[in-house]
Amino acid sequence: EVQLVESGGGLVKPGGSLRLSCVVSGFTLSEAWMSWVRQAPGKGLEWVGRIKSKNDGGTTDFAAPAEGRFTISRDDPKNTLYLQMDSLKTEDTAVYYCAHYGDAEYFLHWGQGTLVPVSS
Amino acid sequence: QSALTQPPSASGSPGQSVTISCTGTSSDVGGYNYVSWYQQHPGKAPKLMIYEVSKRPSGVPDRFSGSKSGNTASLTVSGLQAEDEADYHCSSYAGSNNPVVFGGGTKLTVL
């Protein structure tokens, strides 16, 4: 059974940093394409960024609001995906989900999400 | 403002059919057959319902179907049931520079 479990959310001040984790099981993280998707309170889903599988180069892509401030990495032996968020803004307030790609451009599995409020 | 346009709400009575639209451009919905739909109950994670426009993952009832015409994709829920009441989000591939775009979500109410 595939599982994704996020952690690391919590209140952070504007300008601060936070690192989210997503522990996965049921598949091999190094072979997977993974994304982070966020949802502001009462709003729709917003793609944050992704990391490709090791075989596909392990490179990352980001949406414009995250580019230059967020970093995605992974620790394959620990089956853990990370989202490092720096220079946080109030508009980054959201529930952050990690998501596992299927065999094409869609998200087959999702974590339960972790809330990141950014407020002074 | 979301890249894809969905109606904020939709509704239908039990047993009826309802269709939710998702309008994009030729750079996303119209340009690729990579439209997906996700169901989200309050406080829960999204769940994949449709991928690649019209394919259903294992376990998703065949009451859910997807289609696309030009720059607009659609999700149809037939034989509405109470448990179908949820938010539905569409998504599309939009090219290598901005791979994933979402709609704003549609709240489906079963009357």
Residue among B12, B6, B31, B3 at smallest CA distance from B89 = B6
The mean pLDDT of B58-67, rounded to a whole number, is: 97
Indicate which of B49, B90, B100 best probes the interface with A, i.e. most A CBs within 10 Å of its own CB: B100
Picking from A44, A47, A105, the nearest residue to B105 by CB comes out as: A44
B98, pLDDT greater than 90: no
Give the amino acid at A50: R
- Tell me the C-alpha distance between A82 and A59, whole Å: 14
Contacts of A24 in chain B (CB under 8 A): none
Side-chain-facing half-sphere of B46: CA atoms under 13 Å = 33
Residue B79 and residue B94: Cα distance in Å, rounded?
32
Q: How confident is the model at residue B96 (pLDDT cuts 50, 70, 90)?
A: confident
User: Are the C-beta atoms of A66 and A83 separated by less than 8 Å?
Assistant: no
Tell me: the pLDDT tens digits for B4-59? Answer: 999 999 999 999 999 999 999 999 999 999 999 999 999 999 999 999 999 999 99
**Residues of chain A with confidence (pLDDT) below 70:** none
